[in-house]
Amino acid sequence: MRRMVTPQTWVSTSLLLTNVGDLYITLLQAWNWTSVFVIVDQHSRPMSVFYQSSAAVTLEKLTVTPGLKVTVRDLPDTVEANAEMFSLLKSTSRVVLFYGDAIGLRRLLVFLAARIFQHEVFGMFTWRTPNGSADDETIRLAYQSVLLLDYAYQSDDNAAKIAEFTRTWKNLSVKQFNNSAGDNLPGLPFMLATHAGFSILGKILQEVLTKNLTTRDNLPANSFFKKTFDLDIGRVQINNMGSRLTPASVSYFNNDTGQHQVFAIAAELVDGSFEFQSRLAEPNVWFGGSSLPTNEPFCGYLGYAAACRKSAHFYVDVTLATLGVVAIVGAIATWVYRKRRYVVDRDSDWWSLNPEWLLHWRAPTGTSYLLERSCIYRSPHYNSLGSRCPNIRETSQIST
């Protein structure tokens, strides 16, 4: 495209990466997320260039958007670097944008499991290697905390047409080029975009030839803009700038089916912006819950938010109440102790019963001996009562 004046128009039927940043901003604003942690896997294959380009465009938009706090890290290769990265993540954000392939994401989750990552709400991630076709319940559990953003969402009608087209393309590639493609090979976006581009070009050329127009007319260029084309791979819309309108989707992992299920769709507008629309009110969108997490925990990332800290008046009241209880208990204990000491001081022999203090008392049934209370006090204060204590030896016989 060195000679930009010669081509009458420029049309793109693939995803326009320059709009990806707007897509992420719309996503973050839809759920009020203002603190974002971005992880880029620089070793993703085979589409590392695509992931890096997408991350670069997104970061360019995010860093200049007011009200957003963005932290960026490359996916580390060592245990120490991973631990450092997650320590930073825990203190800055709970929303992670991961740019990489499935292997990189799995490696990230494996590290969380290997380090026995403990979460206050979601519990502990553990890990085991799946054997054969056995389901790996651990990774299924971990995937419930992952949302999948699809840049090129296809409606059910388009998806059915693309599936049929993919089978046809695979059969042709096997016959003509001896490619050993798998049975579950999905339709690659770039392959679909190339097919759509030539299909649209064929329709426009047919229109030009049918209407007997010349290249000097402006109809060929205008025929591309603001048009909807029904192709064998589905419906394709071109905006007024010659770019394909590409809807995006957000899906969650359905643990019952083992597949990602779409719950929100972002429609691309003619100006390149996006508008999110909830499609389904799913009960298990995020880790078994019906709502996505907030931007920040109630008590803050580290649990030190002011809302969870008691006021100074609260601590003063608790301290005074504690001191009051201690003072009351101490006063009661002191009173009991002093009362006891008072009794003991007056009667140091209170525990001893002298037989001489037994009084002779004759009852109708016989003779018994009773203790006169005044005789148990041996302190000098009661010496004057000693005369009241009889001599037991004179009447020492006890009968009943």
Summarised one tens digit per residue, pLDDT across range 153-167 is 777 677 777 777 777
**Domain range for 379:** 355-395
Among 80-94, 147-161, 165-179, 384-398, the range scoring the smallest mean pLDDT is 384-398
E strand residue ranges, the chain: 35-40, 69-74, 96-99, 118-119, 123-124, 147-150, 227-231, 234-238, 248-254, 259-268, 274-278, 358-363, 366-371
Structural domains in the chain (count): 1
Question: For residue 255, is it within any domain?
Answer: no
Residue 379 in any domain: the answer is: yes
Q: Which amino acid is at 216?
A: R
Q: Work out whether strand 118-119 and strand 96-99 pair parallel, antiparallel, or are unpaired.
A: unpaired
Helix (H, G, I), strand (E, B) or coil at 182: coil
**Six-digit token pair at 137?**
């319940």
**Which is more confident, 380 or 90?**
90
3-state class (DSSP) for residue 281: coil
CA nearest to 221, candidates 196, 198, 242, 251: 242
pLDDT higher than threshold 80 for residue 387: no
Q: How many CB atoms lie within 10 A of CB 187?
A: 21
- Which pLDDT score, from 0 to 100, does residue 275 have? 85
- Cβ atoms of 374 and 382 closer than 8 Å: yes
Q: Is residue 115 part of a domain?
A: no
pLDDT bucket at 218, cuts 50 / 70 / 90:
low
Check: CB of residue 222 under 8 Å from CB of residue 187.
no
Residue 75 lies in a domain: no
Residue 107 tokens read as 């490696």
Structure confidence at residue 135 (pLDDT): 46
Q: Is residue 295 part of a domain?
A: no
Q: How far is CA 124 from CA 36, 112, 129, 146, 203, in A?
A: 23, 9, 17, 16, 57
Average pLDDT of the chain to the nearest whole number: 70
How much is the pLDDT for 374?
43
For residue 209, pLDDT beyond 60:
yes
pLDDT of residue 375: 46
Q: Looking at the domain assignment, is residue 110 inside a domain?
A: no
- The per-residue pLDDT for range 78-136, each reduced to its tens digit, is 777 888 888 888 888 888 888 887 778 877 776 665 554 454 444 444 445 545 444 46
Say if CB 292 and CB 304 are below 8 A apart.
no
Q: Are 22 and 29 in contact (CB under 8 A)?
A: no
Q: How far is CA 395 from CA 115, 355, 372, 390, 399, in A?
A: 92, 12, 15, 9, 11
112 domain-assigned: no
Residue pair 101/49 in contact by the 8 Å Cβ criterion = no
| C-alpha span between 245 and 134 (Å, rounded) | 41
Tokens of 4: 């930009």
Provide, rounded to the nearest whole percent, the portion of the chain with pLDDT above 70: 60
Please indicate, yes or no, if residue 172 is contained in any of the structural domains.
Answer: no
Beta-carbon neighbour count of residue 291 at 10 Å?
Answer: 8
